[in-house]
Structure 1
């Protein structure tokens, strides 16, 4: 591939995943990632600040999609409907062509404690972004926080199922199914925790 070709960011992600799967995260260098992608080291750093971030590409976009989904929900939306709106918006971040990244990414992150810590931090930041968006929608702080945590839980479960090589359903469908299951499960715990 020529260095001028489009989709440099996605090519870098794909190259990083391939190399980390082949030789391990620690032994993979930025130069190797750029070369595998058919790009230069400077192009890598135009897209990512470091080697870790290439493996978490799209988290900022995902966060913005979730926040935008919450903001765009109808004015009288319940917490359940706000989560559903966020998940609908997030589905844009999970096109079919990216499904194969999931198993590779899980394997690479699962094999490195530094990356596991980074994933945990990213998960917390997604929840914080959603909680802030829910608070702006008028939810009390505690309700916003719990709703955001629940949305993060649903999002993680949906992603795990969507990225399973045996899965052939779109992310949005899976996410809504997970949300229904979680809501039903909360209902079995007592009326005090039912998500409206």
Structure 2
């Protein structure tokens, strides 16, 4: 067995995606993932807490990409412009060469209710972090939460479009279009409904 090679996490991630796609998530063990790249199960658990975390590794970087967009937006920017900055920053986390792997990952998640729940939890963590970042900018409530949740919703819609077969636009371009749709939707009367 190979003792150490650079890129162990990456190799385990690729192997896991391939096995999950061909054999199924539930039918694949951590030991099988490790063995498929010439490693031991013990090595797998040095890198990931469990096989589910192979799919969610890097969540902190994902959230950080959004928060950095909020933090670097111009100080006088309106909350919706800060959402746009967060989406642009996050889109850099998803270059076009990552699209096929993102499709494969989402396909595995879509077939497993427990993984769908974990994905929703990840997005809830993102919304909480974004709301905190908005509040740190001085945006009050409920605007901070509305902006954060809207940003997450725009991202989810854009990401779903980005991973569709045949889609060639960048995630940044798609997210800008979806945000434009949100702006158009909310551009009507600002008076609350009775």
TM-score by shorter chain over 0.5: yes
Deviations 1:50-105 (A, max 9, x none): 11111122221110111111011111011111111111111221022210123322
Gaps of 5+ in 1: none
TM-score normalized with structure 1 length: 0.89
Q: Distance in 2 between matches of 1:107 and 1:179?
A: 25
> Which has the greater radius of gyration?
2
Deviation at 1:3, TM superposition (A): 6.0
Q: Distance in 2 between matches of 1:37 and 1:84?
A: 40
Q: Which residue of the partner structure matches residue 48 of structure 2?
A: 48
Q: Which residue of the partner structure matches residue 163 of structure 1?
A: 163
Q: Distance in 1 between matches of 2:156 and 2:170?
A: 15
Deviations 1:95-136 (A, max 9, x none): 222101233222211221111111111111110010001110
Gaps of 5+ in 2: none
CA distance 1:162–1:114, change in 2 (3 Å): same
Q: Which residue of the partner structure matches residue 191 of structure 1?
A: 190
Whether the aligned pair in 2 keeps the contact of 1:58 and 1:93 (CA below 8 Å) is no
Mean Cα deviation higher: 43-52 or 146-155 = 43-52
Q: Distance in 2 between matches of 1:37 and 1:179?
A: 41
Q: Distance in 2 between matches of 1:31 and 1:148?
A: 39
CA distance 1:39–1:94, change in 2 (3 Å): farther
1:127-138 correspondence runs (5 A):
127-138=127-138
Deviations 1:168-193 (A, max 9, x none): 122111111111111112224x3248
RMSD (Å) for aligned C-alpha atoms: 1.8
Q: Distance in 2 between matches of 1:192 and 1:32?
A: 58
CA distance 1:149–1:45, change in 2 (3 Å): same
Deviation at 1:137, TM superposition (A): 0.5
> Secondary structure at the residue paired with 1:177?
helix
Q: Distance in 1 between matches of 2:191 and 2:42?
A: 54
Whether the aligned pair in 2 keeps the contact of 1:48 and 1:54 (CA below 8 Å) is yes
